Amino acid sequence: MNAVSPEIPMPSRPVSASRYPVAVWPWPIALGLLTIFGLLSALLGQQGIWLALSWAALSIPLIVTVICLIRAWRRPSSKGGLS
């Protein structure tokens, strides 16, 4: 379920950009809102443009996932993410 046991303090490392806190929630919230929009637009709209918007909105989380995976595997470093 996860690697770092909560009670073990983080080992001290040389300070690098990724050691500073980053905004955790913007990306998950954006992807969540897109998902909700995609689910509802096809359900409520049910016509041409709303269907297309639904497909687009629901593909974005998948596309973002694939991009992150490709980045990580192309350039094996801890900075493989989007920020």
List contacts with other proteins (CB under 8 A): 1-4, 6-7, 18-22, 24-28, 31-32, 35-36, 38-39, 42-44, 46, 51, 54-55, 58-59, 61-62, 64-65, 67-69, 71-73, 76-83
**Minimum separation from the CB atom of position 51 to other proteins (A):** 5
Residue 2 or 14: which CB sits closer to other proteins? 2
**Minimum separation from the CB atom of position 50 to other proteins (A):** 9
Residue 6 or 14: which CB sits closer to other proteins? 6
Question: DSSP string of 26-68?
Answer: HHHHHHHHHHHHHHHIIIII-SHHHHHHHHHHHHHHHHHHHHH
| Number of Cβ within a 10 Å radius of residue 71 | 14
Distance from C-alpha of 65 to C-alpha of 57, rounded to nearest angstrom: 14
